[in-house]
Amino acid sequence: MAEAERIIGMPDTPEAAGAEPEQDQQARSRGKRRVAVLFTVAAFAYALDLISKMIVVARLEHHEPIEIIGDWLKLEAIRNAGAAFGFGEAFTVIFTVIAAAVIVVIARLARKLYSLPWAIALGLLLGGALGNLTDRLFRSPGVFEGAVVDFIAPKHFAVFNLADSAIVCGGILIVLLSFKGLDPDGTVHKG
């Protein structure tokens, strides 16, 4: 949590951090492009998730699973009121609040974003969080209690969706960036 507060608490603009005026203008322009990348990646991930879930609900729900690679990979529509692996079905409202909080934190981080890899990672997280939040808000049984549509079913693994995939990929990228010492503002720090 201290790391997030350190990142969120940084100056809003490079000039506030003591940058030269010409560098300041270039940094602001670069920052705007990174924010555009973040929101483009988020919109793409969100759209893919939303479209895939619409197709699954229309064509696969209440039907037999479709085998993609024998019984190793199937498409099977399920509704998941819980978190990953179906745990915590009684806490759907809490998962909704967590997803909303993630979206707010990413929106705050966007103001200070000067790193392309971080823009991609946060875009994946944002798109995935929006995808699952949309299900929790608008799917039955009701607002804040909606069940997420999952449909990718590997053998001996949990059934998941494209929003989950985006969240996991974004999370892995963030861990890798953190290990490399790259901050969202583009600075590199050592250990």
At position 3, the amino acid (one-letter code) is: E
Q: What is the pLDDT of residues 57-86, one digit of tens each?
A: 999 999 999 999 998 999 999 998 876 656
Report strand pairing: 73-80 vs 148-154.
antiparallel
pLDDT exceeds cutoff 90 at 116 = yes
The three-class DSSP label of residue 66 is: strand
164 is catalytic: yes
Q: What is the pLDDT of residues 152-183, one digit of tens each?
A: 999 999 899 999 999 999 999 999 999 999 99
Task: Please give the pLDDT value at position 7.
Answer: 46
pLDDT exceeds cutoff 90 at 149 = yes
Task: Please give the pLDDT value at position 111.
Answer: 84
Task: Please give the pLDDT value at position 104.
Answer: 92
Tokens at 37, concatenated: 């990348």
12 is catalytic: no
Q: What is the pLDDT of residues 118-137, one digit of tens each?
A: 999 999 999 999 999 999 89
Candidate list 49, 135, 150, 185, residue with the active-site label: 150
Helix axes 162-180, 21-59, angle to 10 degrees: 150
Task: Please give the pLDDT value at position 49.
Answer: 98
Candidate list 49, 135, 164, 183, residue with the active-site label: 164
pTM comes to 0.80
Alpha-carbon distance of 185 to 13, in angstroms, equals: 10
Alpha-carbon distance of 65 to 57, in angstroms, equals: 12
Q: What is the pLDDT of residues 22-35, one digit of tens each?
A: 666 666 676 788 99
